[in-house]
Amino acid sequence: MSAEQSPVGKQPTATYDSAFLKACRREPVPHTPVWFMRQAGRSLPEYRKVREGIPMLESCMRPELVAEITLQPVRRHGVDAAIYFSDIVVPLKAIGIDLDIKPGVGPVVEKPIRTRADLARLRDLTPEDVSYVTEAYGLLTRELGATPLIGFAGAPFTLASYLVEGGPSRNHEHTKALMYGDPQLWADLLDRLADITAAFLKVQIEAGASAVQLFDSWVGALAPADYRRFVQPASRKVFEAVAGYGVPRIHFGVGTGELLRDMGEAGADVVGVDWRGP
């Protein structure tokens, strides 16, 4: 190992020894590290300016724009880590799912996935499908220097909820109907999504991510027993798929106070809490 490289290979020693990565490894830190769980986005006037007139998904596929947006909160606030600018549905769009992010609504899927025949539409993700991600990481790692860069992906349950509902949902009726009504189809759907998510995170790690985050926006809609039975196996598969890289793995959900222990047991090194938890 050279003097300039960390124990996990590509990472510069200065990045490896950053307060953020030390905290992820439960090591003493010089100060409490601060970072954004997602891009600072709409709070920044410079973000609104560069995004003006550019649809969300297109913004995620322009490497120079992705790099600029990722860097903005680092420049303005001096945070301890950058979060890669993306959206949870980017890998689904990359494999050909007909979806769009509607302003004021969120991701909308043209043809929801609700039958076994629909699974065939979820093909494997390859690095070539998301070459713009690799390019953006190249731009970012040169600019960030010792500041760690966190990779980002949506968790299988939340991806499944968008695919099954066809868009955002308050009560996830179609999702729960499939989960309870056809447990095997549900398991196969989440297993397929786990493979796609793991492939997306691997691209980011190999391009230079210092840590990765699995973002489960809607999993707080489930009871703990349902989480353990219907969701945890797929999230665990994602974490296990990237474990060999040695980068910290973060898991975060919204409204998941009663699920935090179970989410940690899925394989995360760090579990995020939202504003509801102390």
Give yes or no for a contact between 122 and 113, defined as CB atoms under 8 angstroms apart: yes
One-letter amino acid of 102: K
pLDDT for position 7: 52
pLDDT for position 6: 54
Confidence of residue 10 (pLDDT cuts 50, 70, 90): low
pLDDT for position 17: 94
Confidence of residue 277 (pLDDT cuts 50, 70, 90): confident
User: What six digits make up the tokens of 133?
Assistant: 């991600």
Q: For 56-182, where are the alpha helices, taking DSSP H only?
A: 56-60, 63-77, 90-94, 131-144, 156-165, 173-181
Lowest mean pLDDT among 34-48, 150-164, 228-242: 34-48
Average pLDDT over residues 66-90: 95
| All structural domains of the chain | 37-272 (3.20.20.210)
Confidence of residue 3 (pLDDT cuts 50, 70, 90): very low
pLDDT for position 23: 97
User: What six digits make up the tokens of 183?
Assistant: 């447990």
Distance CA 86, CA 152 (A): 7
Measured CA angle at 110 (ends 108, 112), to 5 deg: 90
User: What six digits make up the tokens of 216?
Assistant: 């489960």
SS3 content of the chain, % helix, strand, coil (to 5): 55, 10, 35
**Among 80, 87, 129, 195, the one annotated catalytic:** 87
**Can 192 be counted among the known catalytic residues?**
no
One-letter amino acid of 69: I
- What SS3 state is found at 117? helix
Distance CA 80, CA 189 (A): 36
> Strand 82-83 to strand 211-216: parallel, antiparallel, or no bridges (unpaired)?
unpaired
Q: For the chain, give the percent of residues with pLDDT over 90.
A: 85
pLDDT for position 35: 92
Confidence of residue 42 (pLDDT cuts 50, 70, 90): confident
One-letter amino acid of 187: A
**Among 162, 216, 249, 262, the one annotated catalytic:** 162
**Among 47, 51, 216, 262, the one annotated catalytic:** 51
The 10s digit of each residue's pLDDT in 81-136 is: 999 999 999 999 999 999 999 988 989 999 999 999 999 999 999 999 999 999 99
Distance CA 174, CA 150 (A): 32
- Size (the chain), residues: 278
Confidence of residue 2 (pLDDT cuts 50, 70, 90): very low
Using only C-alpha atoms, the chain has a radius of gyration, in whole angstroms, of 18
pLDDT for position 176: 97
Is the pTM higher than 0.85? The answer reads: yes
One-letter amino acid of 121: R
The 10s digit of each residue's pLDDT in 150-194 is: 999 999 999 999 999 999 988 999 999 999 999 999 999 999 999
**Can 26 be counted among the known catalytic residues?**
no
Measured CA angle at 260 (ends 74, 186), to 5 deg: 100
**Can 261 be counted among the known catalytic residues?**
no
Which residues are CB-neighbours of 27 under 8 A, at least 6 positions away? none
Average pLDDT over residues 249-263: 94
Which residues are CB-neighbours of 201 under 8 A, at least 6 positions away? 151, 153, 209, 212, 214, 238, 241, 242
- Say which residue the tokens 């579990």 belong to: 271
User: What six digits make up the tokens of 137?
Assistant: 């990481």
